[in-house]
Each structure stands twice: as structure tokens, then as C-alpha cells.
Amino acid sequence: TAGITQAPTSQILAAGRSMTLRCTQDMRHNAMYWYRQDLGLGLRLIHYSNTAGTTGKGEVPDGYSVSRANTDDFPLTLASAVPSQTSVYFCASMKVAGQGATGELFFGEGSRLTVL
């Protein structure tokens, strides 16, 4: 079982360029999340989606947008990248009530983005 697939695994991007990080899950989880991981700060929530067709802002949403057209896909877009967006990005999903909820987050393997 693939679980959550993220692409690309690594990317170098010039400042001012746009970029979409892809995230696909095959577990039919309702909730999906995007986090960024920075040293000493742990994981911070960028955007989330509790179900297909809905999205919400997390702790650090500025400069990022998401869409949730279907259950499986949750892409994260940087419209105009800046160096402070250099980070490791994790996509995650979670079972919710009605799917045998455990509350556990399932993570993708991460996407390392460097903005120069």
C-alpha cells in the first residue's frame, strides 16, 4: 500500500517562481494536511482540508494555497516563492469518525524545497 505519495522529493526553486507540491493518498482518508518542518520549530500547519471541497488555514498559511477537488489529492501551491519558504514540507492524512478513527496522522515522505 502506497499510503501518501508526495512529489517532488526535492526541488530547488528561484525566488519569484511558482511551484506546486503534489500529494496523493490511497487510504480514502477524509482529512488532509500540509505541514512545514523547520529546525527548532517542529511541524507547523500550513493548510488543511477536513473533506473534499473544503479547505482551511493553519498556523502559517501566508504565501501558500491549496485545493481539494477530490478525496485523494491535496496539492500545495507557492504562487511566488521566497527564501523563507525554504523548508521540508510534509503532507499528511487522518482517519475521521466513520472510518474507524484513531486520530493518528499518516505522513508522506516529505518534499525538500530550497528557494534561492
- Around 94, how many Cα atoms within 13 Å sit in the side-chain half-sphere? 15
Is residue 27 at the binding interface for other proteins, with CB under 8 A as the rule? no
CA distance 23 to 47: 13
Angle value at C-alpha 18, between 114 and 9, nearest 5 degrees: 45
DSSP 27: S
Is residue 96 at the binding interface for other proteins, with CB under 8 A as the rule? no
Is residue 67 at the binding interface for other proteins, with CB under 8 A as the rule? no
- Considering the complex, state which of residue 6 and residue 85 has its C-beta at the smaller distance from other proteins: 6
Helix (H, G, I), strand (E, B) or coil at 83: helix
Is residue 26 at the binding interface for other proteins, with CB under 8 A as the rule? no
Q: Looking at 70, 84, 109, 116, which residue binds other proteins (CB under 8 A)?
A: 109
User: % helix / strand / coil in the chain, to the nearest 5?
Assistant: 5, 50, 50
Is residue 32 at the binding interface for other proteins, with CB under 8 A as the rule? no
Is residue 100 at the binding interface for other proteins, with CB under 8 A as the rule? no
- Interacting span for other proteins (CB under 8 A) from 16-24, 33-41, 60-68, 75-83: 33-41
Q: Cβ(34)–Cβ(66) under 8 Å?
A: yes
Applying CB under 8 A, the residues found at the interface with other proteins are: 33, 35, 40-45, 48, 58, 88, 90, 92, 102-107, 109-110
